[in-house]
Amino acid sequence: MTANKIFEELNPPPRLMMGPGPVNVDPRVLNAMSMPLLGQFDPAFTEYMDEVMVLYRQIFQTENRWTFLIDGTARAAIETFMVSTIEPGDKVLVPVFGRFGHLLTEIAERCAADVEIIEVEWGEVFEPQQIEDAVKRVRPKIVAMCQGDTSTTVAQPLAEIGEICARYDALSYVDATASLVGMDLPVDNWKIDCVSVSLQKCLAGPPGIAPITFNDRVAEIVNRRKHIEKGIRPDGFEAAGGPMVSSNYFDLGMLMDYWSEARLNHHTEATSMLYAARECARVVLKEGLQPCFNRHALASKAMVAGLEGLGLTVFGDKSHKMPNVTGVYIPDGIDGDEGEMVRSEMLHDFGIEIGTSFGPLHGKIWRIGAMGYNCQKHNILTCLAALEATLRQHKVKMPAGGGVDAALAEYRAAGQ
Ligand SMILES: Cc1ncc(COP(=O)(O)O)c(C=O)c1O
């Protein structure tokens, strides 16, 4: 890299990001991020904070008072929930169906939980009965699981999970980073105690801030170990008896004080990221939640039809497929590093990014996303056309135009 290049203006190459996320940010969100900064206690800014809470209650379909933002990527919100609720030795049950179940396990272990996992093969999901049996046996304080796991492209049905957990007095936590607004997650109806996400998938925002919602059952546990930093502690405050949360940054009790009328100072809120989060929610709510789910579902149908129209095979249990990500087997004849060559040629020749895969699926499938702002007909068709052309260069035989034709037929059938 020459010194001169460093001093050139930032000019990222144009990309169509059709991987498992992050994806292209909605231009409205980019615009919001370029607005002037405000001080964190400026009344105009605290009003934006309040608006964010109102907007995300609608996004999460909840009445939860405690609905706000954690500064950091998706895992920042996971850590916040776990470090603030888990005390050493607490039992945590994690039903693992992909990479991000292992992430939940690891974070719980770092919080010194006694973690038990149950597993299904990557590409499958659990029957509610399997989860109930495990909860009955383990009697955990917390059951933590993903809704959609991008690593396997399948989504766990959750409608009964909150109820099961409540029956055995366990808290239910869901990481919906990969799925929120791409599919339904009515937090209150499904009685889920805490859900956290981030912006970089179906919410069409940048990585770096993580919306969270939790109910009074969680707040009560957090308040049992309530602590306030000495420098800002109000006169007469007595810390609660439980052990102090071992992270200052992720101490949910102090974050609740920051986001409530108390407005007790904690971190300096990430102003531009809050603007982004606010705009992401407004974009989705203007479209409407159901139309947004429908848009993702139709794109999924079109992508599956398109890939099959090219003679390719879609990965995983199709009845539980995430609408916003599609796994596809790398076709015969594309061996070893050639799968990665196909991905880099799509990027080089067409400016299109598709995803690789992890763990047992590495080298076997690619993951193609269509979510948020990118989840539009023309992007699906462009991606399929580029994939076909690239695979042809590698001598894969496929019906000419079969991908675009089949995907287009799905859109036409839906009147588009
Ligand atoms: C389900 C799920 N959880 C957590 C994460 C981690 O997100 P981050 O990299 O923003 O911390 C991801 C990222 O893809 C994800 O899909």
pLDDT in tens, 98-144: 999 999 999 999 999 999 999 999 999 999 999 999 999 999 999 99
Domain co-membership, 99 together with 236: yes
Report the percentage of the chain scoring pLDDT > 70: 99
pLDDT tens digits along 23-56: 999 999 999 999 999 999 999 999 999 999 999 9
- Where does the pLDDT of residue 314 fall: very low under 50, low under 70, confident under 90, or very high at 90 and above? very high
Cβ–ligand 1 distance for 40 under 6 Å, the answer no
Cβ–ligand 1 distance for 177 under 6 Å, the answer yes
pLDDT for the residue 149: 95
Domain co-membership, 326 together with 278: no
Determine the Cα–Cα distance for residues 304 and 410; give it in Å rounded to an integer: 10
Average pLDDT, the chain: 96
Domain co-membership, 294 together with 273: no
Question: Regarding predicted confidence, which is higher, 232 or 180?
Answer: 180
Per-residue CA distances from 278 to 38, 136, 175, 283, 369 (Å): 15, 40, 20, 9, 23
Determine the Cα–Cα distance for residues 111 and 92; give it in Å rounded to an integer: 10
**β-strands 209-214, 194-196 pairing:** antiparallel
The pick from 69, 107, 150 for probing ligand 1's pocket by mutation, whose C-beta has the most ligand atoms within 8 angstroms, reads 150
pLDDT for the residue 3: 64
Q: Is the pLDDT of residue 340 over 70?
A: yes
Among the residues of 139-270, which ranges form H helices? 161-167, 216-223, 252-259
How many domains are there within the chain? 2
Per-residue CA distances from 147 to 53, 84, 400 (Å): 22, 22, 36
Question: Regarding predicted confidence, which is higher, 179 or 236?
Answer: 179
Q: Does any domain span residue 137? A: yes
Q: Does any domain span residue 320? A: yes
Q: Is the pLDDT of residue 239 over 90?
A: no
Cβ–ligand 1 distance for 374 under 6 Å, the answer no
Domain co-membership, 118 together with 177: yes
Report the separation in Å between the CA atom of 269 and the middle of ligand 1, taken as the mean of its atom positions: 21
Q: Is the pLDDT of residue 1 over 80?
A: no
Q: Is the pLDDT of residue 233 over 80?
A: yes
Q: Is the pLDDT of residue 201 over 90?
A: yes
pLDDT for the residue 6: 87
Q: Does any domain span residue 6? A: no
Domain co-membership, 43 together with 184: yes
pLDDT tens digits along 353-403: 999 998 999 999 999 999 999 999 999 999 999 999 999 999 999 999 999
Q: Is the pLDDT of residue 2 over 70?
A: no
Q: Is the pLDDT of residue 4 over 80?
A: no
Domain co-membership, 138 together with 251: yes
Instruction: Give the Cα-Cα-Cα angle 380, 384, 389 (nearest 5 degrees).
Output: 150
The pick from 70, 185, 198 for probing ligand 1's pocket by mutation, whose C-beta has the most ligand atoms within 8 angstroms, reads 198
Question: Backbone phi, then psi, for 185, in 5-degree steps?
Answer: -150, 80
**CATH number of the domain to which 121 belongs:** 3.40.640.10
Domain co-membership, 300 together with 321: yes
Q: Does any domain span residue 1? A: no
Determine the Cα–Cα distance for residues 416 and 414; give it in Å rounded to an integer: 6
Determine the Cα–Cα distance for residues 342 and 328; give it in Å rounded to an integer: 13
Give the chain's end-to-end CA distance (angstroms, integer): 47
Cα torsion through 296, 298, 304, 307, rounded to 10: -100
Domain co-membership, 198 together with 307: no
The pick from 23, 81, 99, 100 for probing ligand 1's pocket by mutation, whose C-beta has the most ligand atoms within 8 angstroms, reads 100
Domain co-membership, 329 together with 196: no
SS3 7: coil
Q: Does any domain span residue 12? A: no
Measured from the Cα of 176, ligand 1's closest atom is 1
In contact, 371 and 354? CB cutoff 8 Å? no
pLDDT tens digits along 300-309: 999 999 999 9
Domain co-membership, 383 together with 364: yes
Domain co-membership, 380 together with 367: yes
Residue with the smallest CA separation from ligand 1 atom 8 is 74
Domain boundary among 249, 269, 285: 285
CA-based radius of gyration for the chain: 22
Domain boundary among 285, 307, 341: 285
b/e code 106-122 from CB counts within 10 Å (16+ = b):
ebbeebebebbbbebeb
Q: Does any domain span residue 404? A: yes
Cα torsion through 372, 376, 379, 385, rounded to 10: 130
Q: Does any domain span residue 353? A: yes
pLDDT tens digits along 51-100: 999 999 999 999 999 999 999 999 999 999 999 999 999 999 999 999 99
Domain boundary among 285, 320, 339: 285
Domain co-membership, 252 together with 356: no
- Percent of the chain that is helix, strand, coil (3-state, to 5): 45, 15, 45
Determine the Cα–Cα distance for residues 379 and 40; give it in Å rounded to an integer: 39
Report the percentage of the chain scoring pLDDT > 90: 93
Q: What domain range is 236 assigned to?
A: 27-285
pLDDT for the residue 376: 98
Peptide bond into 323 cis (omega under 30): no
**CATH number of the domain to which 401 belongs:** 3.90.1150.10
Question: Regarding predicted confidence, which is higher, 5 or 175?
Answer: 175
Q: Does any domain span residue 20? A: no
